[in-house]
Amino acid sequence: MKLNSQRQIPEPRITLVGAGPGDPDLITMKGAKALGDADVILYDALVNEDLLEYAKAGAVKVFVGKRSGQHSSTQQEINQLMVDYALNYGHVVRLKGGDPFVFGRGYEEMNFAAGYNIPVKIVPGLSSSIAVPGLQQIPVTHRGLSESFWVVTGTTASGAISNDLYEAVRTKATVVVLMGMNKLKEIVRLYQQEGKSKLPVAIIQNGSTDMEKCAVGIVDTILEVAEEKHIAAPAIIVLGEVVSLHPDFQPIRDFFETIQTEIS
């Protein structure tokens, strides 16, 4: 019998997995199982590398960067790598920070794979827009304070501030801004122009990780507080009355109550 010396390649398939906000324990069980079954893992800069321990022996692990201002691979390059590895190795897990469909460009990757007739499965992840404020005891909705929440990108593909922020600032909703630290001054100015200079604000850097830092203030003071605490990207910005529920906001509330009493 003639033996086939060529390596047998499994059927190509791709799984988009949300890694969650940073703490490796916050990945879903389904996501962890997908990592254990992967022949290749393509992972982002914001993914905790401890998650790679779920990989089986011999799995190929490829870092593809994808951090604002520090892209080691373009999106087109990542799309092509994902497909090429699937065709040559079998099961590719595309491991993405947060959730693949919340500013994760997951649909673009799924659509690209579809052009090669490669099946794609989705494993949702905890989005930092909800999980990170929650871990800081900030609910994005709360009876009497906020009936809805907006999740907005701070910076569009063109580098400009998102037009949606001009609409969001007019609402009473909690507004969570992702990828917005380099637009913080502009965001503050928008809220000041809308007459919301005393609105509570929190900025949370490296949420859910050992390097987490949090700055709490109001629109008028948040730039100063963030500078004092050396807050930088990656961070999320939370604007809304729900931030007043954070333990660090109590001294601010006490200060305003004292001022009001003195005026009265």
> Distance between CA atoms of 57 and 163, rounded to whole angstroms?
47
Q: Which one is catalytic: 23, 39, 66, 181?
A: 66
Q: Which one is catalytic: 110, 179, 183, 196?
A: 179
181 catalytic residue (yes or no): no
33 catalytic residue (yes or no): no
Q: Is 186 exposed, middle or buried (0-12, 13-18, 19+ CB in 10 A)?
A: middle
Q: Which one is catalytic: 23, 39, 44, 99?
A: 44
Question: In a 3-state reduction of DSSP, which class is residue 63?
Answer: strand
Which tokens go with 1?
A: 């019998």
Instruction: Evaluate whether 141 touches 165 at the Cβ level (below 8 Å).
Output: no
96 catalytic residue (yes or no): no
ω into residue 234 within 30 of 0, thus cis? Answer: yes
> Distance between CA atoms of 240 and 183, rounded to whole angstroms?
18
User: Which amino acid, one-letter code, is at 256?
Assistant: F
Distances from the Cα of 124 to the Cα of 17, 91, 94, 132, 165, angstroms: 6, 18, 12, 16, 26
- What residues act catalytically? 44, 66, 179
